């Protein structure tokens, strides 16, 4: 049957992250985002699509950098709050159990409780519909090596990652599958 609305949901569930923007100690904001993807390995670049009405958009425009923070399922309520209220109106961070600290190579805030962090400087922008797609270079990255392996990535027995399905529905790790190989 043809799908005429919210076609993007066909591509969900998608991992959900926290985007940190602004300048640590001055103007800080966090928002939930699932429209995030790697776009090149050399140089290491990622892209995130950000609504132009969001406070995150305002801050990324101002400072030209952002962070991508991976939190686990115990912070689902925080993800929901960060994804349903705007830093333009409330100090969201103060309403969560999360703590922000300064990035190592960017001024944008990072989430202390995150098990993975990318610090990104914007290199390209493309306006698409209501959003601005920010493409940026990863200038520093960090992961919790109790839960992450430099070759194989996340250890899903330990890292309880969050994926967004639709609306208020989220999921976490199920089965790990491997394709048949010769």
Ligand X SMILES: Cc1cc2nc3c(=O)[nH]c(=O)nc-3n(C[C@H](O)[C@H](O)[C@H](O)COP(=O)(O)O)c2cc1C
Which residue from 18, 22, 46, 50 is in contact with ligand X, where contact means CB under 6 A? 50
Under rule CB under 6 A, residue 85 binds ligand X:
yes
Closest CB 112 distance from ligand X, rounded Å = 19
Closest CB 5 distance from ligand X, rounded Å = 17
* 3-class SS string, 89-142: CCCHHHHCCCCEEECCCCCCEEECCCCEEEEEEEEEEEEECCEEEEEEEEEEEE
Structure tokens belonging to residue 134: 């920010």
SS3 43: coil
Binding mask 128-147 for ligand X (x = CB under 6 A): --------------------
Structure tokens belonging to residue 142: 């960090």
Q: What are phi and psi of 34, to 5 degrees?
A: -120, -5
Which residue from 9, 49, 142, 144 is in contact with ligand X, where contact means CB under 6 A? 49
Closest CB 81 distance from ligand X, rounded Å = 9
Closest CB 87 distance from ligand X, rounded Å = 3
Under rule CB under 6 A, residue 96 binds ligand X:
no
Nearest to 70 by CA among 121, 118, 140, 137: 118
92 within 8 A of 85, measured Cβ to Cβ? yes
Under rule CB under 6 A, residue 51 binds ligand X:
yes
Measured between its terminal Cα atoms, the distance across the chain in Å is 37
Which residue from 6, 62, 88, 158 is in contact with ligand X, where contact means CB under 6 A? 88
CA 162/CA 153 separation, integer angstroms: 15
Q: Which of residues 62-81 bind ligand X (CB under 6 A)?
A: 80
- Tell me whether residue 12 or residue 155 sits nearer to ligand X (CB atom): 12
Under rule CB under 6 A, residue 164 binds ligand X:
yes
In the complex, the residues that contact ligand X under the rule CB under 6 A are 16, 29, 31-35, 49-51, 54-56, 80, 83-88, 164
């Amino acid at each position: 049957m043809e799908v005429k609305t919210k076609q993007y949901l066909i591509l969900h569930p998608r991992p959900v992250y926290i985007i940190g923007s602004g300048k640590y100690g001055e103007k800080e904001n966090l928002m939930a985002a699932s429209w995030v993807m790697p776009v090149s390995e050399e140089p290491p670049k990622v892209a995130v699509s950000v609504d132009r009405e969001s406070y995150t958009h305002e801050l990324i425009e101002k400072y030209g950098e952002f962070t991508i923070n991976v939190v686990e399922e115990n912070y689902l309520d925080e993800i929901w709050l960060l994804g349903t209220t705007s830093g333009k109106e409330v100090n969201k961070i103060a309403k969560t159990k999360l703590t922000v600290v300064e990035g190592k190579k960017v001024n944008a805030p990072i989430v202390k409780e995150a098990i993975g962090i990318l610090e990104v400087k914007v290199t390209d922008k493309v306006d698409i519909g209501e959003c601005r797609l920010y493409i940026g270079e990863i200038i520093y990255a960090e992961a919790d090596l109790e839960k992450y392996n430099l070759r194989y990535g996340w250890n899903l027995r330990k890292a309880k990652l969050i994926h967004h399905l639709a609306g208020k529905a989220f999921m976490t790790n199920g089965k790990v599958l491997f394709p048949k190989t010769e």
